[in-house]
Chains A and B, each alone.
Chain A
Amino acid sequence: MKELQRQINPKYKVSGSLAFFLICSIQIGVGVLGFQTSIVERVGNDSWIPVLLAGLMIHFLIWMIYKILKFGNGDLITIHYDVFGRWIGGLFSFVWIIYFWTIGVIVLRTYLQVIQVWMFQEINIIVVTLIFSLLLYYLITGGFRVVVGVCFLGTVIPSYLIFSLFYTMDYTNFKRLLPVWNHSTTDILLATQEMTFSFIGFTVLLMYYPYLKKANKTKLWGHGGNFLTLCLYIIIMVFSLAYYTKGHLLRQKWPTLTMWKSIELPFVERFEYIGISSWALIILPNICLAFWAASRGARQLFRFSQRKALIIMLSLNLLANYLIKTQKEIETINKLLSQFAFYLFLIYIPFLFIFSYLRLGRRKQHD
């Protein structure tokens, strides 16, 4: 039985500026490939507005999370323990661990689906998941500093993909974005909800906060990371709206990928092959951080070795990837997860904010 760890040995901590990459690397993932459709379905040419609103909402939530962490001075599990006590706090922590784990599973499965549909129809899901699992085991057992390294590289290396957008400018017509705001505010707010899945994952901050040096001084970096994600989503949304007519976009499952179909380079006929392969590097930090957070949470909650927790989680991941077979199942799980995350963001985080203020924040002020 291990101790609930409240302080991290300084030699395992990472520089505060890396919070930037930790936030944006987990937000940018499979969502980028196909986030447009469900939003455009509701608000058409105004689709960039929900993206902006959702991004600003997340900024607000990140502010709130930093406050919670300042009150609690620990990670999510210790805060739950301090605020709600052993059993209720433990229950909440358990739900969060499952939530982190599900993010890892669904990101991997959605990526494998993209590979299945676009490149290799005959790919063996089990074998690929196994390879990924071994890689994840290797990275996560290397410690948090290795995970941060993956996040950094997973953001920097694939960043050249943004230039692919310039190739689509042959066909873009930015007039398609006009007239601005011709949909009802209700529709725009409802569409904002659809963006949840794209920004999912930043809540992992609740787990790695103690690992940041001078953690409470990293706010600006955290917000910066989210701002980068927001800009990226807006740019891609604006280009998609200009590239497709509305009806055409709605036919696409992955509008970003279909945009690559019109790119022709002298050395490669289908750009998607480069893009999708590079995407493995983009989703690696996603999965890595999600599983790290889940296993770290399990270590804190059940007080046994993180390595064992990770092995159990990766095996369950293998099982889940095996059981999820059809596109419909993937979509359903994605939808359920993003709905769950929506309520988590909108109700649970403010709830935790208020409680941790009452139980921990006020006490501190009295001291």
Chain B
Amino acid sequence: MIKKWISLLLILLLLTGCLKKNILDDVRLVTAIGYDPINTEELKITTVVPLFRSDQSTSSETHTDIANITTEGNKKMDNMSSKPFVKGKLEVILYNKKLAEKGLLPIIDLLVRDPSIGTRAFLAISDEEVNQLLSGQYSSQDNGMYIADMINQNIELGLTPKMNLHLWLNGFYAEGSDPYAPIINTYNQNVKITGIALFKDDKMVSDLPSDSLFTFKTLVQPKTKRGIFTAELDNKEVVAIYKVNGKRTIKVKNIEQSPTIKVDIKLYGIIKEFSGEVVNDKIMHQIEKSIEDKIKTQASEMISQFQELNIDPVGFGEEIRSKSRSWNQQQWNDKYPDCEITVNVDVTITETGIVN
């Protein structure tokens, strides 16, 4: 019996932590990393660290260094820092547009390989110099958290499609779809989503302006929840609908030889604001028609742009792959630009608010 207790006590002795601990107060929690190109090889790496002040406000501190890869940059930063940088709370990864156009593959590796980085982090592109953007002071939060909350808020409100590191990687590695990411820029002392960057593999090839974000969302997401949309009627009246719910279905005919694709978008919305007076049946019909037309034109233009660039953010390829028994990525890539894709939009106004 005594032997047993002694051995148990010995085990307790072994349980004291001998590993290096990272205590929150003794590390710098990186909330955002930004990349700018310097020349063909070197990158300017900016990290944002929250600085907690005694009056409970937070501001951000940025560190910059020049290196070939992120870890090397971090090492250089560690060299002159009193506390080590840790990436467990990384929320935003920001790339300069020029870098994205050259291809993100070499710098994205860390995000895939490092176990401490969460896949809910946002991957974003900026037209401006990322270092400048991350150095500004925008709110009472640090910049990493602020930008992440801003993008997240836009997704929650249904203004942009769901985007994050996991979805980007899913699109990047997929056979039948291509990834996309938000473009953010400074705007009146704030940061704003100004569009969507479209990728071919890991290279950014084009972008969509911010006014087509909603249409893009209804196209890429099978289910639309929430969202606000405005349209102009023939008689110059303007209408806004909100709480737009709906779904998108893709139908494919003649799947094995030359597929023709039909995209059906069904939307239900409530009128939020109308610049005219009373909404009667006739005007209601006009409103529905004008919204349908606007989404349809935008979507069709978008799709022909995708086909021209041979990119597939919507995932038509995935759709075909899941239905076809003779899927071949190469063949599909050849067929896709000449594929006939039609869009059908059906909008129903369910309510008109508390007045007619």
Contacts and interface: CB of A to CB of B under 8 A. Distances in A.
Interface of A: 45, 117-120, 122-124, 127, 130-131, 134-135, 138, 170-171, 173, 175-176, 178-179, 182, 244-248, 250-251, 258, 261-262, 264, 269-270, 272
A250 B89 CA distance: 26
B18 A124 contact: yes
Interface string B151-173: 00000000000101011011111
A223 B174 CA distance: 38
Contacts of B23: none
A137 to B, nearest CB: 8
Contacts of B324: 179
A175 B175 contact: no
B236 interface: no
Nearest to B325: A182
B330 to A, nearest CB: 15
Contacts of A258: 119
Given A127-B14, A135-B11, A270-B88, A244 B170 contact: yes
B106 interface: no
Given A171-B167, A178-B322, A117 B11 contact: no
B171 A245 contact: yes
B119 A261 contact: yes
B323 interface: yes
Interface of B: 4, 7-8, 10-11, 14-15, 18-20, 88-89, 112, 115-120, 162, 164, 166-167, 169-175, 177, 222, 318-319, 322-325, 327
11 contacts: A118-B115, A170-B162, A171-B166, A171-B167, A178-B323, A179-B323, A182-B325, A245-B318, A246-B174, A248-B170, A264-B120
Contacts of B8: 138
A270 B116 contact: yes
B118 A264 contact: yes
A261 B115 CA distance: 8
Contacts of A171: 166-167, 170
A119 B114 CA distance: 11
Nearest to B167: A171
A120 B116 CA distance: 11
Contacts of B19: 120, 122-123
Contacts of A176: 318, 322
Contacts of A250: 173
Contacts of B325: 179, 182
A262 B118 contact: yes
Contacts of A261: 117-120, 166
Given A124-B18, A127-B14, A262-B118, A248 B322 contact: no
B7 A134 contact: yes
Contacts of B172: 247-248
Contacts of A178: 322-323
B328 to A, nearest CB: 12
A167 B166 CA distance: 14
A99 to B, nearest CB: 29
B173 A251 contact: yes
Given A175-B319, A248-B170, 12 more contacts: A45-B322, A130-B14, A134-B7, A138-B8, A179-B323, A244-B170, A245-B171, A246-B173, A258-B119, A261-B119, A262-B120, A270-B88
A140 B84 CA distance: 44
A269 B170 contact: no
B115 A117 contact: yes
Given A135-B11, A171-B167, A269 B174 contact: no
B112 to A, nearest CB: 7
Contacts of A134: 7, 10-11, 14
A45 B174 CA distance: 12
A171 to B, nearest CB: 6
Contact of A122 (B20, B88, B323): B20
A272 B115 CA distance: 9
B171 A131 contact: no
A114 to B, nearest CB: 10
B166 to A, nearest CB: 5
A245 B176 CA distance: 9
Contacts of B173: 244-248, 250-251
Contacts of A120: 19
Nearest to B17: A120
B11 A269 contact: no
